[in-house]
Chains A and B, each alone.
Chain A
């Protein structure tokens, strides 16, 4: 169906993302790529390598570490930084708590997810970053469907969805006043399936958490959670060993696992194609209310 001078959709998305990443480096003085250890930020970093080859990626990576990460995520992060010789900055939520800037939630559903915003904004300010790139996608959540590639943040780091700059053609307006910064989302137009197919096609390395493995888990509100010391369990919540994998990677406390025997990328893709629940459907942080994501984004969340 395609003529010789037309691109496949994955190649077109790749070209668009590389263009956006290069535009960030051209328009901002001190950008950073937010790195979570999840597949989306791994793909962003891969695209950044493509954008500047044979040069090095001309910015640092930054991980906002809640202290509640899976050990596998941290190990993957450190290996990646070493392998590609990039600077990996770590913003610590624990430190924000110690300084009294963030207050730990209590109870069974306690999560440090929301507190990341404090640490993120502090870290952006401390390092004087004028642009933070992230791996958010518009298909993830409805508040994200209206996000720009170049998203302007005021000097409090806040997002004003009703006052966004129109984004026309491929002309990105990154002009800002002192103290303001931008969030840029190079893979805005990718879907979950695009990411998986691209990872398969480009043979991109991923943390083991995405693949099927044995793990002690327990069920809460229809979600399987890792039976870790970081989550307070009720008496009725009895862990058992099951064969699971994670569709997204976030904190131990709020990332739901799915029972799965998918141990290769091909099997994961088959599973993603047949599944009838969105990947964020397993995220307790989004279920808090209809506008949970919108509220967190306005405050300056990823």
Chain B
């Protein structure tokens, strides 16, 4: 990086074509405020993996000068909108991309201010991993609790706490252990399967890409090594076979005159030609005749592949129906309990009616009961205050106009999630996780 010798270039061979085709994908979210050094951390990952180009770097240098920043301000890389640059804030989820020879990464970079819980939830909804920054001088803050709670609520399988700014506490092992212990105690109250801790200095690059020489007491891997090697293929549910029908393909062409294919993205499990299946909600049974793609038929297909299934029998099935295995079926019901993140400008209406999107199904619902609101800073459940405002998280019960085919969110993020839509504005006002 020009003018900053602390950023050194490492050589990455992402042009190795064979290796490139073998890479897998890790989607992660980063949480923390600007002061936590989040932008610096992301900037370093992008720069050290050669994902910042010269013209982008020059544009940032020019912009930093204009904004009167002394150093090159890496936040300008992620803050893309004019209002953000002017006000020095991040408004929305920004998606960033980088790759190393081992893996391709998508970062959902979300702002840390309280009014933007909705953005954190959005970024977390598709993430396999969350990087949560903690300032080594300050330790656990309210927002650390908030970020952790959201990661747990959204069932992000892996959480990596980066205890940052270690340079400002003289790289002391005692301080790191102190914060780590506090975090461990806190994290045990949450439902995160895999929690890790790292002492870093994003500014100086300690333990970001390479192991730090300033912390010989730390024997673990660097952040990048962790991101590259964390095992993620177990994150998808490969047990419960769920195929929500997205679209029915009927070509009516000479070659495929009687072809009737069910197109969709596998929401769980592994489907094989010859499998006995049930179509819900009708309950008709059949066998999978073939799994079709443009490149030819497949023997088997698994989540999250987009394929087209054909069945041995002619069954009347359409968008919103679900193909499952006979002996492993989702729950079917209209009375549903949810954890809800509210995103509407108007408060959630008790007894209000909203539209719902769940898998490939559109239904309507009525709010039956608001059970409690969660204080996301303390995890305290408030059963008195039923006013659910934007960015609040609550447990509610709903009744839907027709049955949903669902699994608990903790079992399957695809069949356990839904969004609520205000029918007057068409705005997405709620994110629901089925309990």
Which A residues are within 8 Å of any B CB, using their own CB?
1-3, 5-16, 18-19, 22-23, 25-26, 49-56, 138-139, 141-146, 161-162, 164-173, 175-177, 188-189, 191, 193-194, 197, 200-201, 266, 269-270, 272-278, 281, 290-291, 294
Question: Could you say which of B171-179, B206-214, B243-251 contacts chain A?
Answer: B243-251
| Contact size range, B | 35 or more
**Nearest residue in B to A50 (C-beta to C-beta)?**
B294
Q: Is the CB of A8 within 8 A of B22?
A: yes
Residues of chain A contacted by B125 (CB below 8 angstroms): 168-169
C-alpha gap A278/B355 in the complex (Å): 42
> When the two chains form their complex, are residues A139 and B246 in contact, meaning their CB atoms are under 8 A apart?
no
Let me know if A145 and B256 touch, CB within 8 A.
no
User: Taking A1-B102, A54-B256, A168-B428 as contacts, is the C-beta distance between A175 and B122 under 8 angstroms?
Assistant: no
Q: Residues of A contacting B418 with CB < 8 Å?
A: 171
Q: Can you name the residue of chain B whose Cβ is closest to the Cβ of A278?
A: B53
* 29 A–B contacts, CB within 8 A, in A order: A1-B24, A3-B234, A8-B22, A9-B23, A9-B24, A12-B24, A19-B265, A22-B247, A22-B263, A52-B263, A53-B249, A53-B293, A55-B259, A138-B97, A141-B80, A145-B78, A145-B94, A161-B81, A168-B125, A168-B431, A173-B357, A173-B426, A175-B355, A197-B20, A200-B17, A290-B63, A290-B82, A290-B85, A291-B82
List residues of chain B with CB within 8 A of the CB of A167.
122, 428
B43 → chain A, closest Cβ, in Å?
13
Are B421 and A173 touching (Cβ within 8 A)?
Answer: yes
Closest Cβ of chain B: how far from A140's Cβ, in Å? 10
Main secondary structure of the interface of B (DSSP, over half): mixed
Seen from chain B, the residues whose Cβ lies within 8 Å of a Cβ on chain A are 13-15, 17, 20-25, 53-56, 59, 63, 77-83, 85, 91-97, 99, 102-104, 106, 118-119, 121-122, 125-126, 229, 232-234, 236, 238, 246-247, 249-251, 253, 255-256, 259, 261, 263-265, 270, 292-295, 302, 304-306, 308, 319, 343, 355, 357-358, 360, 413-414, 417-419, 421, 426-428, 431
Is A142's CB under 8 angstroms from B91's CB?
no
* Docked complex Cα distance between A272 and B53 (Å): 11
CA distance A141 to B14 in the complex (A): 21
**A9 surroundings in chain B (CB, below 8 A):** 23-25, 103-104
Could you tell me if B106 and A2 are in contact, using CB atoms closer than 8 angstroms?
A: no
